[in-house]
Amino acid sequence: KLAYFPFLVVNTLTCSYTEMKVWPGRGSRQVSKDGRVYLFISHKAKCMHNQRVKPVKLTWTQAWRRLNKKGKAEAVKKRRVRRKVVAQKAIVGASLDEIRKRREEKPETRAAQRQQAMKEIKERQKKKAAQAQKYEKKAKQSRR
């Protein structure tokens, strides 16, 4: 007696034209002049292949179904988009604590600090301009 195996593995091949499963003992093979071997599930598929009808044009082929998004709708679900978690990182010259303090500051205090910094920069520029003028006057006097 042979034991019964409900999960027997059967090697199935795919039809070269329709892309359907061809079970053992079914279908037919065709070898072209260049040596390619084609496996067809039916005589109809073989004839269509020989007539050079594109499988995409026929509604009963897998190529047409794939092109027109038929079947496998439930298998393919939209992938969930993972939101990027923004991680705070320290920047060169500023630690993470300093960055957090600046972020928590009120806009008024930040504006006051900006104005103070701008005043200092303008003062430095005025000093440089004054020194440049003095240098130019000395250079003119030495030329005479």
Walking along the chain (144 residues) 10 residues at a time, the average pLDDT comes out as 66 95 95 96 97 96 93 68 81 83 84 92 92 82 72
Provide DSSP, 5-50. -TT-----EE-TTT--EE-TT-SEEEE-TTS-EEEESSHHHHHHHH
CA 11, chain centre distance (Å): 36
- The pLDDT assigned to 74 comes to 57
3-class DSSP state for residue 91?
strand
- The pLDDT assigned to 3 comes to 60
pTM score above 0.75: no
- The pLDDT assigned to 51 comes to 97
- The pLDDT assigned to 71 comes to 83
Give the whole-angstrom CA distance, residue 38 versus residue 60. 19
- The pLDDT assigned to 76 comes to 56
- The pLDDT assigned to 101 comes to 83
